Amino acid sequence: MNPPTPSPTPVPISGSPVDGVLAVAAIVLALLVAVWALVAALRHRSPDRVQFIGLAVLELLLLGLVVVTVVALAGGERPGEPGSFFGYLVTLLCLPPLAAVLARMEPTRWGSAIVCAVCLVTPVVVIRLQQTWEVLGG
Amino acid sequence: MAEPGTARSRTNAGPGRLLIAVYLLFAIAASSRAAVQIATRLDEAPLAYLLSALAAVVYIVAAVGLARAGHTGRRVALACCALELAGVVGVGAFSLARPDLFPDETVWSGFGSGYGYIPLVLPVLGLAWLRHTRHPDARKGPLLTPGA
C-alpha cells in the first residue's frame, strides 16, 4: 500500500510576504527608535537627528513591505482578511510620517515622547498585519 | 497650530501634543476597525460594531477639541473624555455581564483589554490634562482665578 499522498491543493507555501526579514527588521528598528526616543524624553531632549533618520529608515522598510506585498498579490496570493489587511497596511505607512510631523511641531521632550509612542504602536500594527494575512481558523 | 488668541491655553502643546497623537492613533484604529466591521458583517454583532463606530467618532472629536485648544475646544474635549470614560467603564462592565450582546470585540469591551487598557487610561489622562491646563484659560471662562 502506498502511503496516502498529500492532497494536491495548489496552496502556495511561499509563506506570508509580511512575515519575513523586512517585518522583523521594521519591528526591531521601531523598538530601537522607541527606546532612543524614550531616553531622549527622560533626559528632557527634543527629537534629535537620530530619531528622524530612524523614522525615515523605518518608513523605507515599511515601503519595502508594501513592495513584497504587491509582488505576492501579483503572484496570485491573497490576504486572509483583505479589508483589515489593507487597512493596517495604509495605517502602518502613515505612522512614521505622523510621528515626524508631530515631533517637528513639538521641539521639546514631548516631541521625543510622541516618537516613542508611535514607535511602540508600529510593531503592534506589523503583527496585526501578519495576523490578517494568515487565515486564522479558515 | 492654534489661533493667535488662544496661544496661552496650551492644551495643544507639550504633553498635550503627545495626548493628541495617541488620540489620533486610537481614532485611526477605531474608525478603520468599525469601517471594516460594519461594511463586512454588521448583522453579526450590530451593537458591538455600532459602539466601535461611536468610539471612533468620540476619539476623532476629542483629538480635534484638544488640538483646537480654544474655550470651545476644551469643552468639546471635556465632553468627549467624559463620554469615553463612561463608555469604556460601561461597555467594559456590560461586556462582562452580558457577553452574548458582544460576540465580537470593540475598542471598549473588557475595559479596553484588547488595546492594552489604553482606552481606560486615555480619558483619565485627558481629563487630568484639561484640569492641569485650566488656569491660563480661566480668563475666558466663568472661573476667574487671578494670581494663579
Nearest-CA distance B106 → chain A (Å): 15
Based on the number of CB atoms within 10 Å of its own CB, is A76 exposed (0-12), middle (13-18) or buried (19 or more)? Answer: exposed
Nearest-CA distance B14 → chain A (Å): 5
User: Which chain A residue's Cα is nearest to B31?
Assistant: A87
Instruction: Assess contact for B74 and B130: CB atoms under 8 A.
Output: yes
**Which of A33, A60, A59, A57 lies closest to A47 in space, CA to CA?**
A33
CA-CA-CA-CA dihedral for A78, A82, A87, A93, to nearest 10: 0
CB contacts, 8 Å: B21 with chain A: 98-99, 102, 114, 117-118
As separate numbers, helices (DSSP H) first and strands (DSSP E) second, chain A gives 4, 0
Helix axes B15-41 and B118-132, enclosed angle (nearest 10): 140
Instruction: Assess contact for B6 and B141: CB atoms under 8 A.
Output: no
Helix intervals (H) in A47-108: 49-74, 82-105
CB contacts, 8 Å: A110 with chain B: 13-15, 17-18
As separate numbers, helices (DSSP H) first and strands (DSSP E) second, chain B gives 5, 0
B22 touches chain A (CB under 8 A): yes
Between chains, do A114 and B40 touch, taking CB under 8 Å as contact? no
Mutation target for B interface from A55, A92, A121, A124: give the one with most B CBs within 10 A: A121
Q: Which of B1, B15, B36 sits opposite A87 (nearest CB)?
A: B36
Which is it for the CA torsion A61, A62, A67, A73, positive or negative? positive
User: Which chain A residue's Cα is nearest to B28?
Assistant: A91
Q: Which of A91, A110, A117 sits opposite B32 (nearest CB)?
A: A91
Q: How confident is the model at residue B69 (pLDDT cuts 50, 70, 90)?
A: confident
- Give the pLDDT of residue B3: 44
Based on the number of CB atoms within 10 Å of its own CB, is A136 exposed (0-12), middle (13-18) or buried (19 or more)? Answer: exposed
Averaged pLDDT of chain B: 81
Between chains, do B28 and A117 touch, taking CB under 8 Å as contact? no
Q: Is 0.90 exceeded by the ipTM?
A: no
Residue whose C-alpha cell reads 495605517 in the numeric block? A91
Which grid cell sits at A128? 496585526
**Which of B20, B21, B19, B16 lies closest to B133 in space, CA to CA?**
B16
A102 touches chain B (CB under 8 A): yes
User: For each of chain A's 138 residues, which pLDDT tens digit applies?
Assistant: 555 555 554 444 457 888 889 999 999 999 999 999 999 999 999 999 999 999 999 999 999 999 999 999 999 988 988 888 988 899 999 999 999 999 999 999 999 999 999 999 999 999 999 999 986 544
Please count the residue pairs, one from chain A and one from chain B, whose beta carbons lie less than 8 angstroms apart.
46
What's the DSSP call for residue A106? -
A117 touches chain B (CB under 8 A): yes
Nearest-CA distance B120 → chain A (Å): 17
DSSP assignment of B7-62, as one string?
TT--TTSTHHHHHHHHHHHHHHHHHHHHHHHHHHHTTT-HHHHHHHHHHHHHHHHH
**How far out from the chain centre does Cα A65 lie?**
8
**Rounded CA separation A84/A35 (Å):** 29
- Give the pLDDT of residue A138: 44
Q: What is the pLDDT of residues B44-61, one digit of tens each?
A: 878 888 888 899 999 999
Q: What is the pLDDT of residues B86-141, one digit of tens each?
A: 999 998 898 888 888 777 777 888 888 888 888 899 999 999 999 988 865 455 55
Residue whose C-alpha cell reads 486615555 in the numeric block? B122
Q: How confident is the model at residue B5 (pLDDT cuts 50, 70, 90)?
A: very low
